[in-house]
Structure formats: structure tokens, C-alpha cells
Chain A
Amino acid sequence: MNSNLENIKHAVVAGQHADIEQMVQKAIDEGDKLNEVINEALIGAMDIVGEKFAANEIYVPEMLVSAMTMKKGLELIKPLLTDEEAEYRGTIMMGTVKGDLHDIGKNLVLMMLEGAGFEAVDLGVDLSVEKVVEEVEKRKPQVLGLSALLTTTMPEMRKVIENLEERGLRDTVKVMVGGAPVDAAFAEQIGADGYGKDAAEAVQLAKRFAGA
């Protein structure tokens, strides 16, 4: 990796949002390959940010500023990409189930996925089973993430999976679940494809499911 890419990567990890545009512009001007700037520097940096977050070396504020920094860099490159290059790596859809208004964890995962080059669709909170299934049918995501913070709303996750099966959509989408009261055993019990114990793990899981 050349020094331009190293500098960009370091700036994203350190959240140097004021400097990133200048650094990315320099890389563009000096002829660095755009896909390398995106994949190796910007997205590569977010992988490090995810690892640091999982290890409690950084926390939500630092992660959000890194993501914002990455996004500013990406915005500069996007208009220069060809249609083929600009394609998303996949679509990942996430929401908090019916009866639950909590969305911090879900938002973190979405933001990280967007940073990783996915179309990250936020379905919102307090989602009815019908709404989730309707959106899956309409947008055909590779991965559906369901979040719950309340023990009482966990059964809604099972209902979504059952409904996807009834509508013949279950095989079209990988379902991952997460949230404070959820664990791997529960995920298996309700027939989910995976469980992420925190935002970083959920991102890794989503990337694996989406084949990225």
C-alpha cells in the first residue's frame, strides 16, 4: 500500500474528518486506483475500526466519527466511478421488531455496513412482521438483520422467520439477529442463520452472508 493509501487509512481510523478530503483528493490527483482507495484505504480502515470497537479500544463516538470521515472520503470518489464500479456489494436490511423502540445497536451496524460498501437499508423501529416481509419481498436483500432490546419483543423475531417461510421467501435471504437479550442459542432455536453479539460481530456476519 502506498503512502497516500496509508495516510487515508490512518486518517479514517483516527477520525481525522477535517483532513480526509484533502488526502483523498491527493490520491485521486496522483493517479491512485479508485477501487484501491475505496477497498484498501477507506473500507480497510473501517475493518480496523470494527476490531478496535470490539476490543473496547474505541467506543461509539470514535466509531461514528471514523465512519463520518470514511463517508466524506467516499463521497469525493463516488462521482468518478463507472456504473460498474459504483455498484453496491449487496443489500442489507435491518430493523427493530414490533413493540421495541431501541435502535442504537441497529444504527451502528447499518452505519458500519454502509461504510463497507453495502446498500444498508434502515427499516426503522417497532416494525410489524408484515412490514418486514413486505420489504424483503420488494427489495430482495441478501441479509435481513433483526434487533430487539426487550425480552418481551424477542418472539417477534421468530414470527418474522415463520412468516418468511410461509411466503416462500426464507431461502432468498439470510436472517441474523441481535440485541441485549438475544444469544446464539435463541438464534438457533428460532431458525435464524446467525447471531451477532455486538455491532462489530454483526457486521462480520453480514459481510460473510452477503459473500463479501
Chain B
Amino acid sequence: MDMKPDFERLRKAANHEEPDRVPLCEALIDYAIQSQFLGRTVTSDDLESQVTFWAEAGYDYLPLTVGMMQPGKVTRDSAISKVIREVMLRDSPDADREEAWNLELTSFIETREDFEKFPWDVAAELDFSAIEKAAALLPDGMKVIALSGKIFTLTWMLMGFNHFSMSLILDESLVADVFRKVAEIQFKGLERILKMPYVGAIWVVDDLAFGTGPMISPQAFRDHVFPWYREMAKRCHEKDLLFLMHSDGDLNPLMEDIIGMGVDILQPIDPSCMDIVDVKKHYGEKLCIAGNVSNELLRSGTVQEVEQRAKELLSKVAPGGGYCMGSGNSVPDWARYENYMTMRRMTLEYGTYPISL
């Protein structure tokens, strides 16, 4: 088995062709799993070890977050948390209290006045140091995928979900303006990323749906969110980059929109509410799909169960191309290491085209 990274492998899968083998695909693998794989501690600032992990584990790219939610989720050190703590709460005695800065617990834009005084300029100062540093570390054939463009989630988090939802109906222009500001910042980052020749794709990680369906109406997505993604996909394709999207939840009512926007690869086809065989059947000729190995299976399943699930996906979804193997969300620290390794091993052993399972 050729373990050398080859971004063309992912590109072929995205183009519905059969590459040499089924690509492996994750947006996030916890550093604890990476550490166990390499036999040494991997940290968020140890880019060299991260490159080594993703290359040696069989991935064709290095995922790096660039954007307001850097490094990828809401933590004390997220770019947006720093803006809130160091600018908005600078003079507040509560600046260090998580309840005061964590966007999962609080919100900042309820009124037009809040919108006007939000420090957008500071929020627009994105950090490109990791992605620039990665250029010199990538082995031949490997590219960076920039995780960016979190437009929907950031907007509702800044407004608070309930307030965002109500405002979508009661004060739509305010919501549209927050979307626009967030998108403009993400696009500013995108402009710079698109000039980096070692970046092979943009990956929008933005949950759009609950397990029961879209978080807002498909029409509201069409009015406020999807035009930004469509433009993002267009700019990627102009530069010959792929455009990937991650969203949890039941996306069935949004599938035609997602395809119409120009998404090349959709991940993870949430196994708790979507039938990936059905998705392949209906949309497989228009869209490459990735993931679907349930995180619950990775947490609590046996090695045999993971083997069986991986075989099912390889035999039912991979033939003809247009599929990448991966988890049903991401690989967190609570996934059993041997289960993650089994999913990976099965892909390397049985994912060679033509699939013969």
C-alpha cells in the first residue's frame, strides 16, 4: 500500500473518479489520538508533528483552521474569544469568567447599537502564521486544507440562538447585517488563503441542521447564508481548489441547495439521521460524500463492529469513486484508539480500487 500523501487522490474522489484507494477524510482528529499514533505528545502549536501525523496516518492533506473561530471551536484562546475578552470586556471585572466570554453561554449582539459598537475591525485581524509555517513542512503531494468560512454558526453565536432566531423574523435586516459582517471577515481571510499555492481546498465547518432537520428554514438559508457559500465555492473553483462542507444533522431538505452552491465534498453525512447509501443513490453523481462511521461506534463499539461498518461503507458507497472514509463527525479524544485505527486500517487494506469486498 502506497502511504505517500497525494492530494490528487482526494481530487479524483471529489470528481467522482476512482483513485488508487478510498481517501481518508477528517476535519479534526484530537491531539490525544495523534499523540498515541506517533508515540509522542502532539500539541496545538507543534505543527511539525501534526504534519507527520496526517501524512503517516494516510491523509492527503493537513487541515488548519483560519478564521474567527480559530483554532476551530470556542475556547479561551479562540480568535473570537480573545476579541471579546481583550476588547469588549477589557474594563470588565468579569473578563476572566467563562460565562462572560464563552459564546456558547452568552451573546453580544441584540440590538443595532450592539452591532455598531462590536469591534469588527479587531475581529477581522486573522492569524495566518500556522498556515504560512506549514508551507515548508509539507511532504510532496500533500496540501493544506483551510478550515474557514464559519458564517452561520458565528452569526447565531454572536446573537445568541434564541435571539438570532427571533430576529430572523422580527428584525431581519439586523441579522442580514451580522451575516454580512461575519462573511466579509471570512472572505478577507479567504482572499489571502487563495493566493497560497500549497492550499488545496477550503473546508467550511458550519453546522446547519439538528438531527430532525434544518436549524432555520431552507428559505432563510437561501436568503442569508447560501449566497456566501456559493461565492466561496466559485472563488475556490476559479483557483482550482476544492470546496468542502461539514455539517452535522439531517441535511436532506438542503441537499439540492448544497449541490447547487458548488460543494465538492460533503462530510460527515450524520449517521444518526442520514442514510449514506440513500444519499449516494440520489446525489452520488453530483456530490462526493465523506464520513458516516458513527462516533458512538468509535467510542463504544468493538473492533469487529468497526470492521463490519467500514466494510459496509467500502462495498456500498465507495464503488465508482465519490466517497472518502471517515468518522460521523470528528475523531475526539474519547474515541477508542483501536477503533479509530481499525477504521483507518480497513480503508488501507480493503479500500483499494476496484473494491473487491
Residues on B with beta carbons closer than 8 Å to the beta carbon of A151: 295-296, 299, 334
Find out whether the CB atom of A15 lies under 8 angstroms from the CB atom of B169: yes
Q: Which residues of B contact A60 (CB under 8 A)?
A: 161, 165, 215-216
Please tell me if A174 contacts chain B, counting CB pairs below 8 Å: no
Judging by beta carbons under 8 Å apart, are A59 and B216 in contact? yes
A61, B166: Cβ atoms closer than 8 Å:
yes
Quick check: is A62 within 8 A (CB to CB) of the other chain? yes
- By beta carbon, the residue of chain A nearest B156 is A104
A residues 23-67 near B (Cβ < 8 Å) are 54, 56, 58-62, 64-65
In the bound complex, do residue A152 and residue B334 qualify as a contact, i.e. CB atoms below 8 Å apart? yes
Pairwise interchain contact B169-A59, C-beta atoms closer than 8 A: no
Q: Which B residues lie within 8 Å of A65 (CB)? A: 166, 169-170
- What CA separation (Å) do A98 and B170 show in the bound complex? 34
Q: Which of A15, A61, A105, A107 contacts B217 (CB 8 A)?
A: A61
Chain B residue with the shortest CB-CB distance to A17: B170
Q: Is the CB of B212 within 8 A of A198?
A: yes
Query: For B295, what are the chain A residues with a Cβ–Cβ distance below 8 Å?
Result: 151
Q: A151-B295, A181-B272, A198-B212 known; A59 and B217 CB under 8 Å?
A: yes
Assess A181 versus B169: contact at CB under 8 Å? Given A56-B213, A58-B217.
no
Using A62-B169, A65-B166 as known contacts, say yes or no to A56 and B253 having CB atoms under 8 A apart: yes
Chain B residues whose CB sits within 8 angstroms of the CB of A197 once the complex forms: 211-212
CB pair B169 A61 closer than 8 Å: yes
Across the interface, which residues of A come within 8 angstroms of B296, CB to CB? 151, 181
Report the minimal beta-carbon distance from B251 to chain A, rounded to whole angstroms: 12
A188 CA to B225 CA, complexed, in Å: 40
Q: Does B277 contact A (CB under 8 A)?
A: no
| Residue from the set B166, B220, B253 with the largest chain A CB neighbour count within 10 Å | B166
The residues of A that contact B220 with a CB separation of less than 8 Å are: 59, 61
Q: Is A101 an interface residue (CB 8 A)?
A: yes
Q: Which residues of B contact A180 (CB under 8 A)?
A: 210-211, 248, 272
- The number of residues on chain B lying at the interface, defined by a beta carbon within 8 Å of a beta carbon of chain A, is 26
Contacts of B211 in A (CB 8 A): 180, 197-198
Q: How far is the CA of A41 from the CA of B213 in the complex (A)?
A: 28
A54-90 interface (Cβ within 8 A of B): 54, 56, 58-62, 64-65, 68
Q: Are A59 and B166 in contact (CB under 8 A)?
A: no
Nearest neighbor of B168 in chain A, beta-carbon distance: A61
Residues of A within 8 A of B168 (CB): 61
Question: Do B170 and A104 touch across chains, with their CB atoms under 8 A apart?
Answer: no
B213 contacts A64, C-beta separation under 8 Å = no
Determine whether B104 belongs to the interface, using a CB cutoff of 8 Å to chain A.
yes
Q: How far is the CA of A15 from the CA of B168 in the complex (A)?
A: 13
Q: What residues of B have a CB within 8 angstroms of the CB of A56 in the complex?
A: 212-214, 253
Question: Which of chain A's residues has its CB closest to B333's CB?
Answer: A152
A68 touching B217, Cβ below 8 Å: no
**Complex CA distance for A180 and B162, rounded to whole angstroms:** 19
A125 to B212, CA, bound (A): 22
**Chain A residues, CB < 8 A from B104:** 101-102
- Minimum CB–CB distance for B103 against chain A, Å: 11
Scan B149-189; emit 1 where CB is below 8 A from any A CB, else 0. 00000000000011001101110000000000000000000
Set of chain A residues within 8 Å of B169, measured between Cβ atoms? 15, 61-62, 65
**Chain A 115-138 interface 0/1 with B at a Cβ cutoff of 8 Å (1 = within):** 000000000010000000000000
Among A17, A64, A101, A104, the most chain B Cβ lie within 10 Å of the Cβ of A64
0 or 1 for each of B47-77: is its CB under 8 Å from A? (1 = yes): 0000000000000000000000000000000
In whole angstroms, what is the CA distance A17 to B272 when docked?
Answer: 36
Asked whether B105 is an interface residue with its Cβ less than 8 Å from the other chain, the reply is yes
With A64-B166, A101-B105, A151-B334 already in contact, the answer to whether A59 and B161 are too (CB < 8 A) is: no
Expressed in whole angstroms, the Cα–Cα distance for A196 and B314 within the complex equals 33
- Which chain A residues (145-172) contact chain B, with CB distance < 8 Å? 151-152
Q: Which residues of B sit under 8 angstroms from A198, Cβ to Cβ?
A: 210-212
How many whole Å from B32's CB to the nearest CB in chain A? 13
Instruction: Determine whether the beta carbon of B212 is less than 8 Å from that of A61.
Output: no
Query: How many angstroms from the CA of A105 to the CA of B211 in the assembled complex?
Result: 11
Please list the residues of chain B having a beta carbon within 8 angstroms of any beta carbon in chain A. Answer: 102, 104-105, 161-162, 165-166, 168-170, 210-217, 220, 248, 253, 272, 295-296, 299, 334
CB pairs A–B below 8 angstroms (28 shown): A17-B170, A54-B212, A56-B212, A59-B213, A59-B215, A59-B220, A60-B161, A60-B216, A61-B166, A61-B168, A61-B217, A62-B169, A64-B162, A64-B165, A65-B166, A101-B102, A101-B104, A104-B161, A105-B210, A125-B105, A151-B295, A151-B296, A152-B334, A180-B210, A180-B211, A180-B248, A198-B210, A198-B212
Given contacts A61-B166, A105-B210, A152-B334, 10 further A-B contacts (CB under 8 A): A17-B170, A58-B217, A60-B165, A61-B220, A64-B162, A64-B165, A101-B104, A125-B105, A151-B299, A197-B212
